Amino acid sequence: MSSLRDRVRGETFVDEIRRQQRDGYELIGGFDDGRLVTLAGIRRSHTLSRGEHLFVDDLVTDESVRGHGYGREMMGWLSALARTERIPRIYLDSRSTARGFYERIGFTFLTAIPCWIDVTPSAET
């Protein structure tokens, strides 16, 4: 996960995962011969804009085996999970460098662009 989320530190990782789990976040690992090769972080959600959906917060494959189909396989597994649970769509936010991968496996890119603003406490005067 650290190769995907550079802000996450080993010493805080478990606490951060447990905090997200309170809101339904799950980590799902993909293994090859007992070795973790891909990892997905998901949550089931419902919003006014998207309705019922499965949101993929995190998807990462070990750099040494990228391009071997593990990410595609994980997304196939997540699609089967969503179908089983009668969740009609999967959403995610993608880095621009991963856009080609997601388009190849069938994702449609919307015009919405994730954005944010840092909120810092105002200075006391």
Q: Is residue 3 part of a domain?
A: no
> What is the number of domains present in the chain?
1
For 64-101, b/e burial (b = at least 16 CB within 10 A) is eeeeeebbeebbeebeebbeeeebeebebebeeebeeb
Does residue 55 sit within a domain? Answer: yes
With respect to residue 116, please indicate whether it lies within any of the assigned structural domains.
no
Give the CATH number for residue 33: 3.40.630.30
Confidence check: pLDDT of 92 > 80: yes
Most confidently predicted of 6-10, 55-59, 74-78: 74-78
Tell me the mean pLDDT in the region 60-89.
Answer: 94
Nearest CA among 44, 11, 13 for reference residue 26 = 44
Residue 98 in domain: yes
Q: Is the pLDDT of residue 82 over 90?
A: yes
Give the domain range for residue 67.
10-104
- The structure's pTM equals 0.77
pLDDT band at 9 (very low <50, low <70, confident <90, very high): low
Chain segment 49-74, per-residue pLDDT in tens: 899 999 998 898 998 999 999 999 99
Average pLDDT, the chain: 85
* Share of residues in the chain with pLDDT > 70 (%): 86
Residue 124 in any domain: the answer is no
pLDDT confidence bin for 94, thresholds 50/70/90: confident
Q: Is the pLDDT at 6 greater than 80, yes or no?
A: no
Phi and psi (nearest 5°) for 4? -95, -40
Please name the residue that has the structure tokens 């980590």. 27
In a domain, 121, yes or no: no
Residue 122 covered by a domain: no
> Which of helix, strand or coil describes residue 31?
strand
- pLDDT tens-digit series, residues 20-54: 888 889 999 999 999 999 999 999 999 998 999 99
Residues 6+ positions from 70 with CB-CB distance below 8 Å: 30, 32, 37, 38, 61, 62
